Amino acid sequence: MEIEARDLQFSRGDRPIFRGLSCRFPRGKISVVAAASGGGKTTLLRMIACLLRPDSGAILVDGTRDLVSLSRAESDAWRHHVGMLFQFGALLDMLTLYDNVALPLREHSKLTEAEIHDEVRRVFEAVGLEGVDQLLPGELSGGMVKRAGLARALIEKPEVLLCDEPFSGLDPPTVRKVEELLQAVNERTGATVVITSHHPLSTMRIADHLVMIGEGRAVEGTPQTLVREDARVADFFEEALSPPAVARGAS
Amino acid sequence: MRETPNRELWVGCFVLVAMAGLAWLSLSVGGLELFRPKGLELVASFDEIGGLKSRAQVVIGGVKVGQVKAIDLADDFRAQVTLEVDGELALPADTSASILTAGVLGDQYIALEPGGDPETLESGEAISFTQGAVILERLIGKLIQNIGGGSSK
Amino acid sequence: MNPIAGVGRLGAWAIGSVRALGRFTLFARTLLGAGASPPLRLRRLVAEVYDAGVLSLLIVCVSGFAVGMVLGLQGHNTLVRFGAEENLGAVVGLSLIRELGPVLTSLLVAGRAGSAMAAEIAAMVVTEQLDGLRMMSVDPLDFVVAPKALGMILAMPLLSTLFVVFGILGGWAVGVIVLGGDAGAYLSTLEQATEFSEDVLGGLIKAAVFGVLVGFIATYQGFTARATTAGVSAAATSTVVIASVATLIFDYFITALWGY
């Protein structure tokens, strides 16, 4: 599915967040939304998930359906097509990992427990988690929580996958693993992936499409062209573009 | 959900113990009658019941056989007391009821005195021979009057 | 302060209060709808009765016993002046069954379980767990909040009953064992004085109403908490304050309305 935001206006109290933000997330591609902290990355994701409504503007799916005007039942229906990985996993503390991931199927499908078990195995395998079924979220490391959150986001085979800061708080090798994971999911399922991140390196590695939010508006394009053409984007990604510090020190 | 068996056990025990407490409060302390077989219900009219209250004891020869179920004012302005006594008692039809006081200031209760009639009282029937409560103040008042009257003669 | 501004502030406060009450009523209605609609989440409910009920058991039973002991002592000292100390059972039992059992249980449970309930829900707001549920098209009111409120409503009368039973035991311990009163008189005056419909049922209804109050206030405070750490603690604090005051106010009205 292709998602397009048109002229979004949104303010929190007196503070404007979006002032006519327009951007698009192409079908089946990995798009990264970059912005300084507090720039509205998460806000945009939550709007796509129908958890938040903009003050005005439209968010179109495949150019036709407007997410902003959906009723409550319709947004519930839309969310079946969307998986979301929250920044801190947002797994329910009271349930084990297995129950967390199985919850959407138990709630909405008529699958038997055995079938649910197979599905949960499938997503756990996809995110590389094993032997953690009976653990509670509080007993996991940050990286494992992210993977479990991703497993839960994938269980209903979403056509749109939203990931809020999937790389934050992880060590570099784990960041690489999560990057590979997201790329693998994107390749295998063809889902439209929208990631928010302020990690320049990860962004440059995995983004097919880059949306840079600044002062309530967005510029977009492939990462390479944007960096070339826009001074602010170039500034933001300076770290990823300059040669590694270690190499410089050695030379 | 993990460790639920343990938790369920705890909740089960909690509910059971609390229900037992509730049963004790209701049935024993509160006098709620659920399972007791329906006793013999008798009606007795008194001119004066004094401080008799509902749930007061009904005794025969000092042995508790029932309690006062309700107290109403009858159409003839007499006090109508409904008694509930042990259903297995075969009380003669000429049984009499009197309201007595335990000690000088104690609670009031009803004493039944069985007569000799071969016929027995059925549920809902009335006790015809009754003796109301003795009101101490009135008794003393009468006594003083009598003494006063006696000395003037 | 300028008197006009003071009046204005009073008005703003009044409007704010009425608004908050309206929001609370709407919340309660939605929650009722969510709780009443199937599925009945029995496992979640058991977990919540555990949190609200079993975890409050110790504090409720110990407090009940202590309150009973105090009643026994005070009651005895007062009754002795009238030479009516054999009525101790009635004094202790009736005070507990009609007033102290439901009210003190509600205050204790609001502090012990109500604050924890509000803080837990508020923490779920902060950590986006409720949004996570929404993303799975699961209504958080139905999955998380309604079982919590219902658990509280079920636990309160049971806890109040235990408070009363332990209180009667505490009064017995002081009146009979320590002060050497008559054991038979303690029980028989209690039984004589207590009516099922007027006293036991009345106390039970109070406890049930308090359960509804504490359950709804705690879940409302948690659910509408600001998504910050301060929001979590504010939710817990205002739950204890509001639920305690509401308990005492409602206590008067139930007492006034319940057949007197």
Angle (deg, nearest 10), helices C229-257 and C115-126 = 140
pLDDT digit string (tens) for C207-258?
999 999 999 999 999 999 988 889 999 999 999 999 999 999 999 999 888 7
Q: Of A42, A22, A29, A34, which is closest to residue A2 (Cα–Cα)?
A: A29
Q: Is C161 within 8 Å of B7 when comparing Cβ atoms?
A: no
The residues on C that touch B, with CB distances below 8 Å, are 43, 46-47, 49-50, 53-54, 57, 93, 97, 157-159, 161-162, 164-165, 190-192, 194-196, 199-201, 204
Annotate A133-173 with three-state secondary structure.
Answer: CCCCHHHCCHHHHHHHHHHHHHCCCCCEEEEECCCCCCCHH
pLDDT digit string (tens) for A66-125?
888 888 888 888 888 898 998 888 888 888 888 888 888 888 888 888 888 888 888 888
Calculated CA dihedral for residues A202, A205, A207, A210, nearest 10 degrees: 70
Phi/psi at A89 (nearest 5 deg)? 85, -45
Q: Where do the structural domains in chain B lie, given as residue ranges? A: 1-35, 40-135
pLDDT at C43: 85
Q: Is B14 within 8 Å of C158 when comparing Cβ atoms?
A: yes
User: Comparing B31 with C242, which gets the higher pLDDT?
Assistant: C242
Annotate C140-186 with three-state secondary structure.
Answer: HHHHHHHHHHHHHHHHHHHHHHHHHHHHHHHHHHHHHHHCCCCHHHH
Structure pTM? Answer: 0.79
pLDDT at C259: 62
Whether B122 shows a pLDDT value over 90: the answer reads no
Answer whether the bond into residue A26 is a cis peptide, omega within 30°: no
Q: Where do the structural domains in chain A lie, given as residue ranges? A: 3-250
Beta bridge partners of B67: B57, B84
pLDDT at B3: 52
CA dist B92 to A207, B89, B125, Å?
Answer: 103, 9, 12
The DSSP 8-state label assigned to residue B119 in this structure reads: S
d(CA C21, CA C211): 18
Q: Which CATH architecture has domain A3-250?
A: 3-Layer(aba) Sandwich (3.40)
B2 and chain A in contact, CB less than 8 A: yes
First to last CA, chain A: 47
- Can you count the helices (H) and strands (E) in chain C? 12, 0
Q: Where do the structural domains in chain C lie, given as residue ranges? A: 1-37, 41-258
Token duo for residue B123: 């549920």
B107 and chain C in contact, CB less than 8 A: yes
DSSP per-residue string spanning B43-78:
EEEES--TT--TT-EEEETTEEEEEEEEEEE-TTS-
The answer to whether A127 touches A148, Cβ cutoff 8 Å, is yes
The answer to whether B9 touches C52, Cβ cutoff 8 Å, is no
pLDDT digit string (tens) for B70-99?
888 888 888 888 888 887 778 888 888 888
pLDDT digit string (tens) for C169-183?
999 999 989 988 888
Q: Enumerate the residues of chain B whose CB falls inside 8 A of the CB of residue C47.
A: 1, 4, 7
Token duo for residue C118: 């509000």
pLDDT at C97: 93
Mean pLDDT per 10-residue run, chain A (251 residues)?
Answer: 87 86 88 84 88 87 84 86 88 88 86 87 84 84 84 88 87 85 87 88 86 84 82 77 53 41
